[in-house]
Structure formats: structure tokens, C-alpha cells
Structure 1
Amino acid sequence: MENSDIYKTITKASPEVLFKDRNSKFYGYAFPVTTEDDVKNHLNTLKKNHHQARHWCYAYQFGMQEKDIVFRANDDGEPNNSAGMPIYGQIQSFEVTNILIVVVRYFGGTKLGVGGLINAYKTGAQLALEAATIVSKTINIEYAISFDYKNMNKVMRIIKEKHLNVINQTLELSCKIIISVRLKDAPSIFEIFDNLYEINIKKLND
């Protein structure tokens, strides 16, 4: 599949946005996250900052390929599927991942009904995403290449020819270089090093 190793995300929190409906206020936020601890930390901070709010509804998604996707939507006391899923729908609509969107509600005294809530939470999430800076990133594989110092030149030649990204290197009698390679290029790069005499390559983070 073309561009199957590219995903969209945000690298920094969006500015606060506000949507109002019949005196209820909905504050929207988007945060970059990769773990449930990240999610908890952001929620705790928002609950401190908005301690008089009534609801802190959210949705998040982790994972860069379909098989790895993890997501959750939380209505936080609003009627079923009137808050979390409309927020998650915007994550899907903008095709972003590794992201948390929270919409904080201050009740304005007038009930909005399920339709009104769905629209308000969806809009809060949409505004937060529109305010965020969305970037495209590549899914990368990391390899460790181990070799004796005498084989340095042939390893470095390939790294230079293929414009490989070196993350870390230890160049002593026994050398080790860690490289990062785009997912789509990974099999061919692995094969090149694997076929070299006295060079050992292995995948990290497996």
C-alpha cells in the first residue's frame, strides 16, 4: 500500500478552544500521547484547572498501523455515546493517532438533549484539532549493527550511500551502530547488512 508507513499526529498541545451552546461552555484540547499514563496526567491537570466543570469527556488513540491501534472513548457521566464517541469520530475524521482529545463542559442550566450534546462534543473536538498543528511522520524500524573495527569502512559506506539515520554509535575494537530506517525500506536494508561478511544486524524493539 502506498505510504503505508506514514501516519499523522501532533507534536505539541493545541491552544484551548471554546464552543458555547445555550450557556453551556465546552473547552476543547488536543494533546500528543503514547501511553495511558500520558492520558491520566493530562486529565489530572485539566481537572485541577477546571475544578468547577461538570464533565471531562475524552477520547484517545495510540498506534501507527491498523493492527496496533488502541483507542478509548469516555462519556464521563454524559448520556451513553453522546460525548466520547463524537470526540473519537473527529480523531478518525482527521486521521490522527497518538493523540488525546478532551472536551471540558461547564453546565449552563439548560439541558441540550442527546443531539445537542453530540453536536457540542463533536464541535469541541473538531475545533481543538483545527487549532492543533498536525504533522506527518514515518514509521521507523531500528537496527543494531555489530562489527569489528576493521570492517568499519564497508559499514559506513552503506550508511552514507543509503542516507541512513544513525541514532547511536560506539566505535571501538568492537563497534556497534544503531540506525533508524523507514518501514518500507527496512527489509532491503536488513538484507544488505545481513549479506555482509563478519557483520551482524538485528532488529530492536521487537
Structure 2
Amino acid sequence: MSGYLIPSANLETELIVKKSRFSTFVFHTKNRAEAMIHLQTLRERYTDARHHCWAYLLGDPKAPTSVAMSDDGEPSGTAGKPMLNVMQHKDVGDIFIVVVRYFGGIKLGAGGLVRAYSTAVQSAYDEMQCQQVISLEPLRLSCAFDEE
């Protein structure tokens, strides 16, 4: 039997970096459509936020069935990719993370953004509660009544 961890509950954490607020939201998600519903809900809830960056890792984290990410207007490679990088080094699958950023007026630069998004996701993992999912395979056994 093989298995992996999944988030046992949705989670929200917050990180402040040079007056910018990074609110991190974690969801247990089974597919892309479900992830995009969570994203749309957050976009509607936080319409005044500057960015809604996200990443997901579906399936077993050792061999995911799907991964994706978005920088949502941040400089290329400074948000989604660092978020996904943190996720790929954890043993948690079927996970969708969104970081909602409110700009604080101080530019962080590319390196600062990478560190901030990575730290925001790592902080969420530090607080996350997980549960084990065990992959089962169906088995059918046929036998005569006297062999029962």
C-alpha cells in the first residue's frame, strides 16, 4: 500500500514583508477545476489586492498527475515558480495554494519577491495539519461456497 499526505483543512496565514502583505490560502484540491473555483472565490473576495499568485500539485507528490502555477502579473518566475518549488519539496499532494499580495509601497525586487513568496508558502506548511491518504486497488476474488 502506498499513500501520501493531503491538507486536512483549509488554512490561511499572513506574512508582512516591507509593508507588503502576503496572505496565503491552502486548499485540499482534487482537480484543476476545483482549484480554479477557489481562485475565483478569492479574486472576488479580495478585489483590491494587487496579485493572486497560485500553484497546485495534484496526486502523489512523488509522482504528481498535474502541476501548474501563475505569477499573476508579478515579474516572470518570481511568484508561482518559487511557490511550486517549495511545494515540490514537501510530501503533501492534492494541494492548491494561493498567495494574495497587497503592495505596501516598497519595491522588493526580483530576489525579494522570490524570498517573500517562498517564505509565505513555507509558513503555511509549518502551520498545516495533514492526513494520510492510502491508495487502494480494487480486488475481486471468486471462489466456490465451500472454499469460503
TM-score (norm: length of structure 2)? 0.89
- Percent identity of paired positions between Structure 1 and Structure 2: 32
Quote the residue 1:113 is aligned against: 109
Quote the residue 1:159 is aligned against: none
The count of corresponding residues between Structure 1 and Structure 2 is 145
Quote the residue 2:34 is aligned against: 38
Quote the residue 1:96 is aligned against: 92
- 1:69 is displaced (CA, Å) by 2.2
Which amino acid counterpart does residue 74 of structure 2 have in structure 1? E
Which SS does the other structure have where 1:57 is aligned? strand
Distance 1:127 1:49 in 2: 22
Q: How does 1:76-87 map to 2 (within 5 A)?
A: 76-87=72-83
Which structure has more relative contact order (CA 8 Å, sep 6+)? It is 2
Quote the residue 2:7 is aligned against: 10
**Unpaired segments ≥5 residues, structure 2:** none
Distance 1:11 1:64 in 2: 15
Distance 1:121 1:68 in 2: 22
Q: Does the 8 A contact of 1:64 with 1:139 survive in 2?
A: no
Which SS does the other structure have where 2:138 is aligned? strand
1:86-119 deviation per Cα after TM superposition (whole angstroms, max 9, x unaligned): 1111212222110001111001111100100001
TM-score (norm: length of structure 1)? 0.65
More helix by share: 1
More deviation, 51-60/64-73:
64-73
Quote the residue 1:27 is aligned against: 23
Structure showing greater radius of gyration is: 1
Q: Does the 8 A contact of 1:28 with 1:124 survive in 2?
A: yes
**Unpaired segments ≥5 residues, structure 1:** 146-192, 199-206
Which SS does the other structure have where 2:137 is aligned? strand
Distance 1:30 1:129 in 2: 9
Distance 1:78 1:142 in 2: 45
Which SS does the other structure have where 1:117 is aligned? helix
